[in-house]
Structure 1
Amino acid sequence: MNLHRIDLNLFAVFDAIYTAGSLTKAADVLCITQPAVSNSLARLREMLNDPLFVRTGHSMTPTPVAQNIIGPAREALGLLRKSVQESHIFDPLKAEKTYSFATRDLLEATIMPRLLALLQKSAPKISVTNYEVSRKNIVSAMASGNLDFYADASSFSDQYLCKQKLAQDRFVVIARKNHPDLTNGMSLEAFLRLGHINVSQRRTGPGPIEVALDKLGEKRTVVMRGQHFLTVPSAVFKTELIACLPYHLAKHYDLSLYEMPFELPLLEYFLYWHVSSDLDDAHIWMREQIAQMVKAYHPT
């Protein structure tokens, strides 16, 4: 017998016939036509090479083969029904699950600690992972089930992704304390004169700060260009370089913070997930926890 060709629906029909003792009554129970029940029984008879039921008067009497398999068949159908039902019930206190994230160091440093603190109380058996996934591979990683969430500070559009705005932040300028060139604060002239550390995932190309400066007809001096926000504070602490960092990260370091000396749009953080997970209870629960956690995440 080729198990790959077995239709589980046939055993549901088999169970209904066995219980009702009639094709007509089985059809009523299953809400299908009697010819459909007869067709399913014929297919099951051919697959198992046994008549399964013989007509005795107005009822269908099960054969010994049918009597032998009804128990295991009902048990299997019961397990399947239970699995389907439980797949829609998510209990965070009992659930053992790992959620996979792809976020940059900025969000890992600011959001993950809060999320873990929350999970320790409400979902002690749930764990999270965060690893780098190339932007071009985000959709395929989600579609394959290898990635649950992608979070970034830039908008990302795809027909297979759902999106939710998480929070917003603002850039500030950081410098070491008692910086000799900043005794009078952060003016545009000082901002342009000093060397900068720029953070970008791209090797080349303008970022939001360059775009804003270009509108003013100005350009800053970038001494170092790197990929990670978390490496910047230590470099600023040891040098006379300055850098622009999101406020909610910069405020944690023993450095001087200055408001930007020109207008700059707010940073916006977005959470993405695959459409196939949009109605999943476990996925919805995690999205709710993240949304609740970032409510206090304001740009001021």
Structure 2
Amino acid sequence: MDKKKFDYNLIRYLVVIVETGSMVSAAEVLNVAPSAISYAVKKLRAHYHDPLFTRRLNGIIPTALAMNLYGKFKAIDSDIIGALNVENVLHKFTRKIYIRCDPFIELWLTEQLLQRQLIPNDFGIEFRYFNLDNELRASKLRNKEVDIDIGLPLPGDRNLVARPLFDLDFTLICRDSHKSIGEFISREQLANEKYVAYGLSTYSTLLRTDTFDAIESRNVDPVIVSDSFLNLILAVTFEDMLIFCPARYVQFLKKIIPVREVKCEYIKKGNVKFVAHVHKQNIGNSAIEKIIDILKEKIQ
């Protein structure tokens, strides 16, 4: 393609395709036929001698060159829209941030983003892929299928950056009206009280690390084992049972369900580090930085 004959509409097309992650969605945002999107991509590929996008099950993945072009094209497109000072359909499109995290963080972060009106005003969020091994976690970040991965540190990867967040300590909670448990619980009582347990390998590993002695001392099996955070948390409000919970979120949970903390001084503290992993190309992204700043805040 002759540089002098470059179709500047292709700038907007590439920006929207990258932001929507789907050629079909891009066609809807731009109010054009899907064939127009396909034709635009064909012209861009011919010009840059690069595939730019690869197909996946639920959309497309931009290549490294496409992401590089996106950064440049986005600035150009914003300048054009600003100069025209016209309400454009692109103004109505909200950048979506993809986050992988555990259910506790998901619930708390959702409340924080809604409370601060960051969603839907500034961006949208989609939580995905919670229960992955380290290799898949890193792969999703490298492929831009996840923007922020919140959890235990991953092995070193030159494409990924780890941002320290907080120490994750565990404590016990029960319903407010639990009949046999007071403010504190002894090892002996804990060994015999009814409890529910996480089935997910991630939390099972964390609990083994943080609460090994207390768990091993139990004389009874869990009443319920589930991968569902919602099911377990609500179950302890129905019956006199205990559950281990990240201490960081106890005050938040107390605001929304009738539970209370049960103190147990013999549980070790501060030996599980949580970090936010992001792709190095996303460093400085305003939406991602806002979310990470919120995650670092001390919960009141």
Instruction: Write the distance in 2 (CA, Å) between the matches of 1:207 and 1:232.
Output: 17
1:242 maps to amino acid = L
1:111 is the counterpart of 2:101 = no
1:45 alignment partner in structure 2: none
Structure-2 change in CA distance of 1:269 and 1:81 (3 Å): closer
Structure-2 change in CA distance of 1:86 and 1:95 (3 Å): farther
Q: Deviation digits for residues 207-233 of structure 1, max 9, x if unmatched?
A: 344445555794223413222333222
Give runs of aligned pairs for residues 171-250 of structure 1, distance below 5 A. Answer: 171-183=170-182, 185-202=184-201, 207-211=205-209, 214-215=212-213, 218-220=216-218, 221-223=220-222, 224-250=224-250
1:23 alignment partner in structure 2: none
1:170 maps to amino acid = D
2:262 maps to amino acid = Y
2:295 alignment partner in structure 1: 294
Contact 1:173 1:243 in 2 (8 A): yes
TM-score by length of 1: 0.59
1:286 maps to amino acid = A
- Say which SS state the counterpart of residue 231 (structure 2) adopts: helix
| Identity in percent | 13
Instruction: Write the distance in 2 (CA, Å) between the matches of 1:100 and 1:81.
Output: 18
2:297 maps to amino acid = A
1:232 maps to amino acid = L
Instruction: Write the distance in 2 (CA, Å) between the matches of 1:147 and 1:178.
Output: 41
- Say which SS state the counterpart of residue 198 (structure 1) adopts: strand
- Say which SS state the counterpart of residue 201 (structure 2) adopts: coil
2:244 maps to amino acid = C
2:258 alignment partner in structure 1: 254
Give the superposition deviation at 1:105. 1.3
Question: What CA RMSD, in Å, does the superposition of the two structures yield over aligned residues?
Answer: 3.9
Give the superposition deviation at 1:272. 0.9
1:132 maps to amino acid = Y
2:263 maps to amino acid = E
1:263 maps to amino acid = I
- Say which SS state the counterpart of residue 165 (structure 1) adopts: strand
Give the superposition deviation at 1:235. 0.9
Contact 1:188 1:261 in 2 (8 A): no
Instruction: Write the distance in 2 (CA, Å) between the matches of 1:196 and 1:241.
Output: 5
1:83 is the counterpart of 2:73 = yes
1:56 alignment partner in structure 2: none
1:274 is the counterpart of 2:279 = yes
Structure-2 change in CA distance of 1:163 and 1:176 (3 Å): same
- Say which SS state the counterpart of residue 276 (structure 2) adopts: strand
Larger Rg: 1
1:254 maps to amino acid = P
1:260 maps to amino acid = C
Give the superposition deviation at 1:173. 1.0
Give the superposition deviation at 1:167. 2.9
- Say which SS state the counterpart of residue 166 (structure 2) adopts: strand
Contact 2:183 2:262 in 1 (8 A): no
Contact 1:168 1:297 in 2 (8 A): no
Contact 2:197 2:226 in 1 (8 A): yes
1:63 alignment partner in structure 2: none
Structure-2 change in CA distance of 1:161 and 1:182 (3 Å): same
Structure-2 change in CA distance of 1:214 and 1:141 (3 Å): closer
Instruction: Write the distance in 2 (CA, Å) between the matches of 1:269 and 1:163.
Output: 10
Q: Deviation digits for residues 256-293 of structure 1, max 9, x if unmatched?
A: 31123413233543211122333xx4x2x123312332
2:136 alignment partner in structure 1: 137
Q: Deviation digits for residues 229-256 of structure 1, max 9, x if unmatched?
A: 3322211122222111123433322123
2:13 alignment partner in structure 1: none
Structure-2 change in CA distance of 1:168 and 1:237 (3 Å): same
Instruction: Write the distance in 2 (CA, Å) between the matches of 1:186 and 1:129.
Output: 39
Q: Deviation digits for residues 164-194 of structure 1, max 9, x if unmatched?
A: 1223443221122343322473111111111
Instruction: Write the distance in 2 (CA, Å) between the matches of 1:165 and 1:104.
Output: 16
Structure-2 change in CA distance of 1:294 and 1:143 (3 Å): closer
TM-score by length of 2: 0.59
